Structure 1
C-alpha cells in the first residue's frame, strides 16, 4: 500500500477549525452540561427504572384540618411540603362521604355503585353481644340519632358477601401484573372476611386491620392521652381490638404495643428499604385522625393554648400523622428514591363533624352528608420533574383519578373491558389538556345524593324531602338555594343524575342503619 504523508499544514488547519468551532459554540450560548449532581441523585436508579408509587390516605381528615388549607392552629409542615414540592388541589372530592365506599372507588378507579359497593362494610366484632349489651347499644343509638333500617332479617343480611367483588381489578392487581411489588399498610375496610383480604386483592404484603377503626394504643399507656366521645356515632365500637379490629400481618394476629400511627410509618419505611431496588406500590391508609381519639402526649403537648380537650387530642393526632408522613418522605430522599416516586396524599372523606373536633369551615356539613364538607378533601400530588412544584390546581378532580393517573405514570394500560370514571391528571397539571378533568360528578348513598355539573350542584335527600341547588363558583359554602330561581337547571341536573343512576347497580347489600348529622341547626338523615 502507498503511504500517505500528512503535512504540518494539514494538522494546523484541523486544529484551527476545531478551535473555531468551539469558539462559535461558546459564543452562541452552548454550554456543556455538568451532570455530576444529576448522576449523584439518581445513583440508586437503574437507567430505565419504573417509578415507585405511594398513595397515603388519611382517615376523616377534613378539608380545613391542615395548615396549608387554612387551619390557623394545627401544625402540618411535612404534609404541606408535598404541596410545596408538588401540586395542591383546592377542589378534590372523594367518591363518597363515608370511608368504606370511597376506598372502594379509590382502589378501582370506578364509581363504587357500578359494582354495588354503596354502603359501609359493617364491623364484625367476633363476639356475640349479650341481651344487656344489645339494650345498651340501642340506648346509645337513640342518643346519637341512629336507627336500624327495617326490611331484611339479621340472618339473611349476614349471608350476603360484603366487600370488593372479584369482578373488579384493584390498582394493586394491575400494577403487580406489570412488575410491581405491592403492599397495603394500615386500615383496609373494603372486606373483612375470606375472599376480600388484601392478599386476595393484589397486595403481596399487608399489615394493619380489616375494619373501620381500631385502638391506637392500650388505654392505660401513660404516654397516650385518651378522649372518649359519648356523643359520637362510632364511640361504641371504637375502644377495643376484637374481631376485625384486631391487628394482623398477612392475616396472622399480632399483639401490637406500639402507637399505631408510628407503627404504620415504621412498617412503610421498612418496606421501602427492602424494596429500594424494585419498583413498588405502597398503599398506606392511616387510621388517623379517625376516632377513637388517642394522641401521644408529646403531640398533645404541642397545643397548650387549645382549651377544648377534644380538639387538642384531635390536633395531636394530626401532628402524629404529619410526623409519620415526614419520616417516610425523608426516607425516600435518604435513599435517593424521591426523584422517581409519585406520592399522593389525600383523605377518604370530609371531617367528621359529629366528633365536635372539626367543622370543615368554610364548607357546609361533614362526613355522612352530601354537602361540600362531606366529601371535599385535601389532596396533593408530588412527582418531581413530571408535575410542577408549588402549583395550586383549582378545577374539580376526584379520588377516582388516582387509579388512572398512577396507571399512566407506571406505563400501564387500563383494562379494555371496563369503563373507568377517573382520568389521568398529569396532562391537566402540565397544561397539555384544556378544560375540566370532569364536567360532571355524581354521588349516591341510598336516598342521599348529589350531582355537580360545571359550577352547579344539586343536593337531594329523599328522606328529608330536600332538594337544593347551589352555584359553587360563587357560593362554595352552599348558603343560597337556587331551586326557585333556576328550575331549568334543576331539571338538567336531575336528568344527568337519572342517566347515571340507570347505568349503575343496585347495592349488593342494603343499608342496615340510618344516622343523622346536624348541619347548621338542622338534622339530615344518612344511610350507612
Structure 2
C-alpha cells in the first residue's frame, strides 16, 4: 500500500509539474488600460497628493517604465494600436472618434486629413490571435472604436463584452450608467466597481483555461464623479499635483477597483501564472490634472500628451521593484503579450512594436526610434497638428501649419523648454528625414494647407 501510494504521489507530482509548466507557457493576461491617466497621476510616479496604494504595490512587484508612451495623444488611436499592434498612422485611425467641424478652429491654417474611427475587420486583433490559441477573452470597460455594434469587442475576438461601445466617456459613473453594452444592476453603484465585479466573475468562470482579460476603465475620464468617501480626503488640498478633489477620488477609485481584481488573482491561486500590464491611453487632460514637470497634456505632441504610466508584472520574467528608462510604446505591449502567450505571427504579418522581453534580461531593443502622428485638432482646439519622432535622447516635432520643427534633448530638458532646432541643424534634419520616411512608409494621412 505504501509503495502504491508513493507511486501515485510521484505521478501526481509529475502531472502537477507538467501542468505548472504548461501554465507558464500560456500565462493568463490581465491588461489594464486607464483612460486619460497622466504620467504624474500615481503616487509611485512621484505625486505626493494622490493615493494609489494598490497600483504602487504592483509597481514594487513588477517593473515600472518611466519613458513609456501612448501611441497617440488621444484615446481611440491608442486603443486601436494596442489591440492590433499597428501604429495609428498605418491604421488611419488618428483622431478621437469621428473628426469634424466641432474640432476645427475657424482660423486654422491647415485642414486635417480624413480619418477612420471604426476598427476595420480587415485587421487582426490581439483578442482574435489569443482566442485562436485557446484563450478565453473578456472585455470590460471603454472601447471607443465604432458606434455600430458590428465594430464592438465581441466582433473583434472577445467572448464577452461589458461596457465596450462607441462611447468616449460614460454619461455618468453611477448606475444607471446609460451605457448600451452594460445593463443597469444596482442604482448608485460606481462604474469602476461594477467593471471590477464583471472581470472577477469572468475569471472565476474561466479559471483552468488561459484567460485574456481587458479591463479598460472609463475612469479617470470626464465627467468628474467619484464616491464621496474618496473625494473627501482631497478637499482643500488643491495645488501642485492636484487641481480637482473629485479627480483625486477618481484616481483612488480606479486604484481600489484594480486592487480588487489583483486580489482575485491571488484568491484563485493564479497570480504567479498571470502577466499583468497597467497603462494609460494618453497623457492627462489639463482640465483635470497637473502634468508637471511635463509640458502640456492630452491632445498635444509634447510629453504631457504622450508619456504615460506603465507597470508590468510578469512572474519569473520581470524583476520586482525594477525601474526601466527605455522608451517604449503601446504597440510593444501587443508584441509582449503575444510573445508571452507563445503566439507567432504568419510570415506575411508584422507589428509596429517589439516584445519587451529583452529589456527584462538587460538587453536592448532593435529599433532606433519611436514615431507619433497626430495631424488633427483635439477637442480643446489648443494644439497644433503635427508628427513626432523620439530617437535616443532627442525628440523632434514637425508642425504642419508652418512646416517648422522643434528639437528637444529629453535627458536634459524633460519639460521641453529649450528648442535646439536652430543650434543642432544636422540632428534636426536627420530626424526630420527619418520621420518623413516613416510617414511615407505608413501612408499616413497628412493635413493640407488652406488658401
* TM-score class, shorter: 0.7 to 0.9
CA distance in structure 2 between the aligned counterparts of 1:347 and 1:287, rounded to whole angstroms: 11
- Specify the SS of the correspondent of 1:89: strand
Q: Does 1:442 align with 2:371?
A: yes
Q: Deviations over 1:344-396 (max 9, x none)?
A: 0000000001x1x3121111111110001111000000012221111000111
Q: Deviations over 1:164-190 (max 9, x none)?
A: 112211100000000000011000011
User: Is the contact between residue 404 and residue 424 of structure 1 (CA under 8 Å) also seen in structure 2?
Assistant: yes
1:186 match: 141
1:452 match: 390
1:29 match: none
Q: Does 1:163 align with 2:118?
A: yes
- Specify the SS of the correspondent of 2:234: coil
2:217 match: 286
2:39 match: 63
CA distance in structure 1 between the aligned counterparts of 2:435 and 2:327, rounded to whole angstroms: 18
**Candidates 163, 177, 187, aligned match of 1:208:** 163
1:332 match: 265
Shift of 1:215: 2.8
CA distance in structure 1 between the aligned counterparts of 2:209 and 2:314, rounded to whole angstroms: 18
CA distance in structure 2 between the aligned counterparts of 1:80 and 1:416, rounded to whole angstroms: 40
User: Is the contact between residue 247 and residue 255 of structure 1 (CA under 8 Å) also seen in structure 2?
Assistant: no
Tell me the matched-pair count.
418
CA distance in structure 1 between the aligned counterparts of 2:108 and 2:410, rounded to whole angstroms: 34
1:523 match: none
Give me the TM-score of the superposition, normalised by structure 2. Answer: 0.86
Shift of 1:301: 1.6
1:86 match: 62
- Specify the SS of the correspondent of 1:498: helix
2:313 match: 382
2:417 match: 479
Unaligned stretches of 5+ in structure 2? 1-12, 376-384
Shift of 1:502: 0.8
Give me the TM-score of the superposition, normalised by structure 1. Answer: 0.74
Shift of 1:78: 0.4
CA distance in structure 2 between the aligned counterparts of 1:146 and 1:171, rounded to whole angstroms: 40
Q: Deviations over 1:429-482 (max 9, x none)?
A: 122x2x345410111111311111121111122226642111112111111111
**Candidates 344, 347, 354, aligned match of 1:413:** 344
Query: Where in structure 2 are the equivalents of 1:213-362 lying within 5 Å?
Result: 213-218=169-174, 241=178, 246-249=179-182, 254=184, 257=187, 258-307=189-238, 311-353=244-286, 355=287, 357-362=288-293
CA distance in structure 2 between the aligned counterparts of 1:150 and 1:430, rounded to whole angstroms: 46
Change (3 A) 1:114 1:288: same
The alignment yields a C-alpha RMSD, in angstroms, of: 2.9
CA distance in structure 1 between the aligned counterparts of 2:441 and 2:223, rounded to whole angstroms: 38
Change (3 A) 1:100 1:147: farther
1:98 match: 74
Shift of 1:254: 4.7
1:500 match: 438
Q: Does 1:77 align with 2:53?
A: yes
CA distance in structure 1 between the aligned counterparts of 2:121 and 2:269, rounded to whole angstroms: 37
Give the number of the structure whose alpha-carbon radius of gyration is greater: 1
CA distance in structure 1 between the aligned counterparts of 2:374 and 2:440, rounded to whole angstroms: 15
Unaligned stretches of 5+ in structure 1? 1-38, 125-136, 222-239, 512-528
Change (3 A) 1:475 1:461: same
